[in-house]
Structure 1
Amino acid sequence: MRSETVERRRTLTLPFHSIKASVLRVTVNGAEDQEDVVLIGEANVLDQIQTRVEGSTLLLGPAPGSSFSTNERLEIRLSHSRLEAIQASAGATVQVDSFHGGRLTLQAVSGARITVEGQAAAVVAKAESGGTVNIGHLSSSNVQSQTVSGGRVIA
């Protein structure tokens, strides 16, 4: 039985400087900070999605031990202006708009895709196992990139 698509807000109480996303579509507004994240998807599936801070990393993806299938895209929207790193795996898609910051480290693996637009002082981009990092619209005077096993970095 299919559940209806809903939107839920969750408040983050701990600071974070990096994102680790798995499976989901994540959209980040890099121009401002907000404590809330918005989850969009089937109601019964959203209960199984974690949005928690561990150390200084925001973990976004299926909760440990969860199992679900969905016909709808799972999406998380958030605003954060002080990101330093993004890791995406298992087909996750992370889109960062209006990024303006210092050093940014990006890693996409296992079919994941990261796209960042804006300006960074330095960028380290790594793509492997079919992952893609697109920094074609990210202005930076210092870019380092590495690809492994079918990964792709677009600069």
Structure 2
Amino acid sequence: MENSPVDVATKWFTAYSSGDFEGMKRLAASDYVFEDPAFGRLEGKRAIGMYKMFISGRDKTEAVWNVHEVKPEPTNPQKAVVRFEAVYKFNGRPVTNQISSNILVVDGKVKEQIDSFDFPGWAAQSLGIFGWLFGSFSFLQNSVKQKANARLDDFIAKHPEL
């Protein structure tokens, strides 16, 4: 089935891994929603804009996304679960982040993506000793969300075509 959640999620991550933002944009629902521990909840233009920001920054961050598994979500036939690894540099520090992504597909489009990962582990890698010490505290996660969203808003302001 060409528009099964597994097929659409596979196409989504193939486009992401290859830096094909237009391919991702074609696969995203107009009301696409993204959520993860670093950004919180993003909707529409901000959600898809985050991917444009990541893809356009690949040269600087040396980002690589490796998909390990795409499978149906056992309790919802409209969902797929993707396990992948993001390897990149954050402020010059090497980061390897294991991520689980729950993808909701409606009418052949990615409508919702909820990513989960070990935030304290990510903080230790990306922020050094400060992240290691305070990664499990909500104040650090809130600070990261504020900075990530400010960076995204700045990027979107510079890319009105989104």
TM-score (ref. length: structure 1): 0.29
Name the one with the larger helix percent. 2
Name the one with the larger strand percent. 1
Structure with larger RCO (C-alpha < 8 A, sep 6+)? 2
